[in-house]
Amino acid sequence: SKATSAVDVIVVGGGIGGLAAAVALTQKGLRVRVLERAPEFGEVGAGLQIAPNCTRILDQWGLLDEVKSLGVLPKNIVMKDAVDGSELSRLDLAETEARYGYPYMVIHRSDLHGTLLRAARAAGVDLVNNIAVTGYEQSERGAVVVHAEGREEAPVVIAADGLHSVARPLISDDEPVSSAYVAYRGAVPVDQVVGNDVSLDDVVVYVGPQRHFVQYALRGGEMFNQVAVFESPKARAGEEDWGTPDELDGAFDGSCEQVTKGLPLMWRDRWWRMFDRNPIMNWVTGRVALLGDAAHPPLQYLAQGAVMAIEDAWVLSEHVGRQLAAGRGVAELDWDDVLSAYNAVRPEHCRRVLTTARAWGELWHVDGDERLWRNEILRGRAVDDYSYVDWLYGPTALTPEEEADMFVPHSQREVASATV
Ligand code: FAD
């Protein structure tokens, strides 16, 4: 088997979470190797919303200017009813930025991933493609990853290998949970949506019975991103082959014009079935730790999946930073302490995001009287009421005490939003 690698950390998976971990730990002076299964580093898909709790961290890493130059700073997030097109609620994003000190942005996935990749390269991260990790072992010095070309050891291994993580079964025997919803995406040159009654300044979400539709401009306003999400009748009927394009148009029957006009622009050769997992409260076994979707894949209704992965990376690296600041050298890092500090704070935060995302999605998709009640309640929310998002968009907690502080005034509201 192969020689022991001369790195401090092995990261498995070079998605947004894995690269964020590599960048953050390298900035603390650690040597990091990233093992990625795919032949190249990259991201498929279209737009990504990144909230202030993410842009705050990107700023600390020195990446916010680059991200701002590639993304869009929308003026509002507007929620509308998908059936009649009426406005239900909005967040003023200039005020949101003033409140949290950092912007709410949208960016093309490949641009955020590319920014992290360039930062990783510039910092000297060892980036390796075509390596699929198949197994993990604990060792005297840390942990070992196993792959077709041999075995590699490091003091710690971060598994950022996504929804179908190979590392997660070391900790939990759970399976991905199907929501029976499927997402279609499409990012097109902005001139293709002229005349469709779209807003180029806002993130607009149309919520309706068993469906929703998201729109926003991307790449400095040159592109327009749309996401169409619906509950698949074939999934509900227990069929294997569900979420296929033949279901797309029917799912949006009875929607307002702004929505139906957008449907022809969706990509029909690719779709994303929506899975999450039940929250688990332990992400660490020995010297292997889960990060990002491997630990906490959400339904996307709070737009916090990639954001949580970036927060994970920041929390992990800040706990390393605390030990270095206290005078330890890199070789003397107490990884058990770092991992237990990480494990003490992140699973609880992400549990709340996962369960709230499910409840929020259910509220988006209600029908009949429930839809009318929802609309009344959302219309009654004051535009400057941030009580539903402070716990998400505020500074990321490093300890359970900080997390609890952030959440106390809102505990009632979590219950309320989960039971409406
Ligand atoms: P992944 O992106 O899945 O990366 C895992 C990486 O590991 C991949 O590169 C993979 O090739 C590699 N890998 C896997 N197995 C192995 C192996 N055995 N060995 C080596 N490498 C391996 N999040 C937001 O924050 N905001 C949004 O607006 C938002 N919108 C979304 C909309 C939709 C429709 C969807 C589906 C998701 C959305 N998300 C959003 C969630 C976000 O996309 C994910 O949470 C995020 O990309 C997870 O990143 P990750 O690095 O943890 O995992």
- For the chain, the first-to-last Cα distance in angstroms comes to 56
H-helix segments, 232-332: 233-236, 248-251, 257-260, 305-325
C-alpha to C-alpha distance for 319 and 398, rounded to whole angstroms: 8
Is position 386 annotated as part of the catalytic site? no
Average pLDDT over residues 67-77: 95
- Token pair for 265: 């622009």
Nearest residue by C-alpha to atom 47 in ligand 1: 306
Per the CB < 8 A criterion, the answer to whether 143 and 136 are in contact is yes
Give me the chain's average pLDDT, please.
94
User: C-alpha angle with apex 68: 398 to 267, nearest 5 degrees?
Assistant: 100
Distance 409 CA to ligand 1 centre (A): 31
**Residue of 10, 11, 16 to test ligand 1 pocket, by largest number of atoms within 8 Å of CB:** 16
How much is the pTM? 0.94
Per the CB < 8 A criterion, the answer to whether 23 and 169 are in contact is no
Query: Strand (E) positions, 63-210?
Result: 76-81, 87-92, 105-108, 126-128, 133-138, 143-147, 150-154, 156-159, 177-189, 202-208
38 pocket-lining for ligand 1 (C-beta < 6 Å): yes
Per the CB < 8 A criterion, the answer to whether 375 and 80 are in contact is no
User: Over pLDDT 90: what percentage of the chain?
Assistant: 90
Closest CA to 163 of 305, 349, 8: 305
ipTM confidence score: 0.98
Q: Which residue has the tokens 């019975």?
A: 209
Distance 83 CA to ligand 1 centre (A): 31
Per the CB < 8 A criterion, the answer to whether 380 and 327 are in contact is no
Q: What is the pLDDT of residue 43?
A: 83
What are 156-167's pLDDT values in tens digits?
A: 999 999 999 999
Per the CB < 8 A criterion, the answer to whether 22 and 32 are in contact is yes
User: C-alpha angle with apex 293: 180 to 30, nearest 5 degrees?
Assistant: 170
Closest CA to 44 of 141, 145, 113, 128: 113
Residue 413 has pLDDT above 80, yes or no: no
What are 117-176's pLDDT values in tens digits?
A: 999 999 999 999 999 999 999 999 999 999 999 999 999 999 999 999 999 999 999 999
Closest CA to 294 of 162, 135, 132, 173: 162
C-alpha to C-alpha distance for 226 and 92, rounded to whole angstroms: 21
Distance 411 CA to ligand 1 centre (A): 29
Residue 4 has pLDDT above 80, yes or no: no
